C-alpha cells in the first residue's frame, strides 16, 4: 500500500470532524481554553456596556450617586477581561502545543507504518513538511479558532438577549445580518480548500528541493551546476508565489465582504436606533448601551469569520496530516509464532514493484550458520530478496520462512531481534560513535561494544580518533570516511547479536585491506551467524558456502563458487565484470 502525502480528501467535512475528535483528547485544556475565552470576551463586553450605560446616565442628568457602582463594575469587568485574555493566551497555546505534540508523534508513527515501501515515491522533504510545517499550521486552529468560535456563539447570543430586553426591534433588525456574516468564508470554502492544498503542495516541493540541494551540494559544485540548481529552485519559488497570490486574492475578497456586511449591519442598527429614539420607543439613556450591544453581537462573529477566511491552508494541512495519522501499515503484524532456528527459505516467491515483475518463483534455502551470496546483474532482484526477508515488503505469492516459520506468522518485533541488516548506505546519527553503536543493543557493556568493533575491524581507527568512542559522527556520519561509516554500521549489526546477518553490498565502501580483514572476521563468525550476503566483489563471493545466481528475477543457478565457475558461463561473465553486478 502506497501513501502519498498529497492525496487528501475531496472535502473538508471529515477533516473538521477528525480535528474536533482530536481536540477532545485534551478535555481539561479544551475546557479551560473555552472558559478563558468566554471570560475575556465577557469582561470586555461588560466593561464597554457599563461604560455606555454610564454615558447614558450622564446624558440624562442622572445623579452622580448612581455613577459609583457603575464605575466599580467597569473596573472589575475590565480587570476580569484582561486576566481572561492573559489566561486565554497562555492556556490556548498550551492546549494547541499539547495537541501538536500528539500530532507529530502520530505523524511519525504513520511514517513508520508506511515505511519503507509505502514512502518510496515521496521525497523526504515533502515528508518533513507534513511533520513540521503542516502540523504547526494546525496551531492556528487549536489556539485561535476553536475556542473563539464557541465564544462567538455565546457572547453574541447574550448580547442579542440583552438587546431584546432593551428594544426587541433592534434585535430583529440585526438578525438577517448575523448568518450572512458568518457564512462568508463558506461561500468560497471549496475554492479555499483547493487553493490551500495547492499552496501547501508548492511549499512542500520547495522544501524538498532545498533539502536535496543541501544534501547534494558537493555534486552540484563538482558538476558546475550552481546556476541550473538556482534556476530550478526559482521555478519552485515562482510556483509558490503564484499559489500564495491566488490564495491572498480570495482571502482579500472574503475580508472585504465581511467588512461590508459588518458595516451595513452597524449602519442599519444606528438608523433603527435613531428612528426608535425619534418615536420615543428607545430612551436616550439606552442609546449608547444599545450601540455597544450591537457591536458585541457583530464583532465576535466578524472576527471568527475573518479567521475562518484564512483556514483554507489549515484545512489542507489538516487533511495531509490526518492522511498520515490514518495510514495503515502495508505489513500486517499479527503473528504469534517464533522461529525454530536461524535457517532461511524462499519458496516460490513472486514479487512485483509498481506492477513490474521483480521476482518470479524464486526458491533457495540457507541453513543455520551457512553463508550464502546472492549475485546477479543490477535489477535481478538481489536486494529485493533481502528486503522481503526483513519484511520491508510483502510477497505477492509464495512464502519466505525463518526457522521453518512463515514470516507473516512471526511478530515483527521478534523478527527484528532475529535479523540484523547492513546496507550499502548505512545511516549514522549525529551522535557519538558509541551512541550509534548502542542502537544495535542499548544496554551493551563497553566490553561488548569494543568486541563488536574489533570484529568489524573498526576498533583501531576509533581508538585513533581524538575522542575515541565519544567522537561525534556528524550528520549521517559526515565526519567519517565511507569505509569508517560502513565498519561502524557492521559493528552495530554484530553488537545486536541477531542470529541472522543480512549484508547488502555492505563491503562495497571498504578498501581492499579492510575488506579482507572483514571477510576473515565473518568467516570466524560463520558458525554463529546465518549470513545472507548481497555481493559483487569476487573476493567476497568466493568466501560463501553457496552462491545463488539471479537474473531477471529468476534463479539461473546455485551452488558453490567453484561449481558455478565450472558449469555456468553467465557466472563467469558476471565475475569478469564486477561493476555490473
DSSP result, 486-505: HHHHHHHHHHTT-SEEEEES
pLDDT at position 11:
43
Extract the C-alpha cell encoding 7.
492525496
Which residues are CB-neighbours of 409 under 8 A, at least 6 positions away? 335, 336, 337
pLDDT at position 580:
42
What is the distance between the terminal CA atoms of the chain, rounded to a whole angstrom? 30
The residue length of the chain stands at 581
19/16 Cα distance (integer angstroms):
5
Residue 108 Cα distances to 17, 131, 135, 417, 428, angstroms: 22, 7, 11, 22, 19
139/126 Cα distance (integer angstroms):
19
Question: CA 558: distance to chain centroid?
Answer: 44
Query: What beta strand segments (E) does 186-267 contain?
Result: none
Q: Where in the chain is the domain with CATH 3.40.50.300?
A: 344-580
Extract the C-alpha cell encoding 6.
498529497
CATH superfamily ID and name for 13-325: ABC transporter type 1, transmembrane domain (1.20.1560.10)
Cβ atoms within 10 Å of 186's Cβ, excluding its own: 14
pLDDT at position 14:
57
468/459 Cα distance (integer angstroms):
9
Q: What is the CA radius of gyration of the chain?
A: 34
168/262 Cα distance (integer angstroms):
20
pLDDT at position 125:
67
Q: Identify the CATH assignment for 344-580 out of 3.10.450.50, 3.40.50.300, 3.40.1710.10, 3.30.200.20.
A: 3.40.50.300
Is the separation of the CB atoms in 550 and 374 below 8 Å?
yes
529/440 Cα distance (integer angstroms):
16
How confident is the prediction along the chain (581 residues), in pLDDT tens digits per residue?
A: 343 433 434 344 456 677 777 777 788 888 888 888 888 888 888 888 877 778 877 777 777 777 778 788 888 988 988 998 899 888 888 888 888 888 878 777 877 777 666 555 566 667 777 777 777 777 777 777 777 777 777 888 888 888 889 889 989 998 888 888 888 777 777 788 788 888 888 888 888 888 888 777 877 877 788 888 889 889 989 999 999 899 888 888 888 888 899 899 889 988 998 999 888 888 887 888 888 888 888 888 887 777 777 677 777 777 778 877 777 777 888 888 999 999 999 999 999 977 788 999 999 999 999 999 999 998 899 999 999 999 988 999 999 999 999 999 999 889 999 999 988 777 888 899 999 999 999 999 999 999 999 888 889 999 999 899 999 998 888 888 877 888 898 899 999 999 999 998 877 666 777 677 667 667 767 777 899 999 888 888 888 999 999 999 999 999 999 999 999 999 999 988 754 44
Question: Is the bond leading into 116 cis (omega within 30 degrees of zero)?
Answer: yes
Is the separation of the CB atoms in 536 and 581 below 8 Å?
yes
288/137 Cα distance (integer angstroms):
41
| Nearest CA-CA partner of 491 in 543, 535, 433, 443 | 433
Q: Which residue is listed with cell 505523524?
A: 107
Percentages of the chain per state (helix, strand, coil), in multiples of 5: 65, 10, 25
Residue 501, beta-bridge partner list: 420, 531
| Nearest CA-CA partner of 333 in 420, 421, 417, 407 | 407
Is the separation of the CB atoms in 95 and 26 below 8 Å?
yes
308/141 Cα distance (integer angstroms):
9
pLDDT at position 187:
78
Report yes or no on whether pTM surpasses 0.85: no
Residue 533 main-chain phi, psi, to 5 deg: -115, 120
Q: Where in the chain is the domain with CATH 1.20.1560.10?
A: 13-325
407/334 Cα distance (integer angstroms):
11
Amino acid at each position: 500500500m502506497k501513501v502519498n502525502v498529497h492525496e487528501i480528501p475531496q472535502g473538508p467535512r471529515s477533516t473538521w470532524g477528525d480535528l474536533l475528535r482530536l481536540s477532545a483528547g485534551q478535555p481539561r485544556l479544551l475546557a479551560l481554553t473555552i472558559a478563558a475565552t468566554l471570560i475575556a470576551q465577557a469582561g470586555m463586553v461588560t466593561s464597554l456596556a457599563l461604560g455606555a450605560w454610564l454615558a447614558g446616565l450622564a446624558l440624562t442628568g442622572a445623579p452622580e450617586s448612581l455613577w459609583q457602582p457603575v464605575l466599580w463594575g467597569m473596573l472589575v469587568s475590565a480587570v476580569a477581561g484582561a486576566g481572561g485574555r492573559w489566561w486565554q493566551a497562555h492556556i490556548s497555546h498550551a492546549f494547541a502545543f499539547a495537541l501538536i505534540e500528539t500530532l507529530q508523534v502520530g505523524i511519525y508513527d504513520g511514517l513508520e507504518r508506511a515505511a519503507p515501501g509505502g514512502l518510496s515515491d515521496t521525497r523526504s522533504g515533502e515528508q518533513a513538511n507534513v511533520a513540521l510545517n503542516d502540523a504547526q499550521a494546525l496551531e492556528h486552529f487549536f489556539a485561535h479558532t476553536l475556542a473563539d468560535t464557541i465564544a462567538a456563539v455565546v457572547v453574541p447570543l447574550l448580547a442579542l438577549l440583552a438587546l431584546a430586553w432593551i428594544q426587541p426591534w433592534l434585535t430583529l433588525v440585526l438578525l438577517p445580518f448575523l448568518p450572512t456574516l458568518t457564512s462568508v468564508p463558506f461561500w468560497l470554502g471549496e475554492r479555499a480548500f483547493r487553493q490551500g492544498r495547492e499552496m501547501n503542495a508548492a511549499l512542500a516541493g520547495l522544501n524538498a528541493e532545498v533539502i536535496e540541494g543541501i544534501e547534494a551540494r558537493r555534486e552540484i559544485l563538482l558538476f558546475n551546476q550552481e546556476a541550473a540548481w538556482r534556476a530550478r529552485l526559482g521555478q519552485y519559488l515562482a510556483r509558490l508565489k503564484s499559489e500564495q497570490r491566488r490564495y491572498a486574492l480570495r482571502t482579500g475578497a472574503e475580508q472585504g465582504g465581511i467588512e461590508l456586511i459588518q458595516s451595513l449591519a452597524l449602519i442599519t442598527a444606528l438608523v433603527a436606533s435613531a428612528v426608535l429614539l425619534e418615536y420615543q420607543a428607545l430612551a436616550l439613556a439606552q442609546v449608547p448601551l444599545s450601540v455597544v450591544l450591537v457591536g458585541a453581537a457583530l464583532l465576535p462573529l466578524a472576527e471568527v469569520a475573518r479567521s475562518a477566511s484564512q483556514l483554507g491552508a489549515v484545512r489542507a494541512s489538516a487533511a495531509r496530516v490526518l492522511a498520515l495519522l490514518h495510514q495503515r501499515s502495508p505489513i500486517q503484524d499479527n503473528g504469534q509464532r517464533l522461529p525454530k532456528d536461524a535457517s532461511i527459505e524462499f519458496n516460490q516467491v513472486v514479487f512485483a514493484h509498481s506492477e513490474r515483475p521483480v521476482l518470479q518463483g524464486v526458491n533457495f534455502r540457507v541453513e543455520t550458520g551457512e553463508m550464502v551470496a546472492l549475485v546477479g546483474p543490477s535489477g535481478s532482484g538481489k536486494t529485493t530478496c533481502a528486503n522481503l526477508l526483513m519484511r520491508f515488503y510483502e510477497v505477492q505469492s509464495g512464502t519466505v520462512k525463518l526457522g521453518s516459520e512463515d514470516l507473516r506468522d512471526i511478530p515483527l518485533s521478534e523478527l527484528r531481534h532475529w535479523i540484523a541488516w547492513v546496507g550499502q548506505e548505512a545511516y549514522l546519527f549525529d551522535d557519538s560513535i558509541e551512541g550509534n553503536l548502542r542502537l544495535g543493543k542499548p544496554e551493551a557493556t563497553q566490553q561488548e561494544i569494543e568486541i563488536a568493533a574489533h570484529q568489524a575491524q573498526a576498533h583501531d581507527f576509533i581508538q585513533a580518533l581524538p575522542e575515541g568512542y565519544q567522537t561525534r559522527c556528524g550528520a549521517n556520519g559526515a565526519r567519517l570516511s565511507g569505509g569508517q561509516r560502513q565498519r561502524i554500521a557492521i559493528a552495530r549489526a554484530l553488537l545486536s547479536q541477531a542470529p541472522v546477518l543480512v549484508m547488502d553490498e555492505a563491503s562495497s565502501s571498504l578498501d581492499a585491506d579492510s575488506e579482507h580483514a572483514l571477510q576473515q572476521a565473518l568467516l570466524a563468525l560463520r558458525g554463529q551467524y546465518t549470513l545472507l550476503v548481497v555481493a559483487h566483489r569476487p573476493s567476497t563471493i568466493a568466501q560463501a558456502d553457496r552462491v545463488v545466481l539471479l537474473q531477471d528475477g529468476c534463479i539461473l543457478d546455485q551452488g558453490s563458487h567453484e561449481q558455478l565457475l565450472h558449469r555456468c558461463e553467465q557466472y563467469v561473465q558476471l565475475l569478469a565484470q564486477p561493476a555490473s553486478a
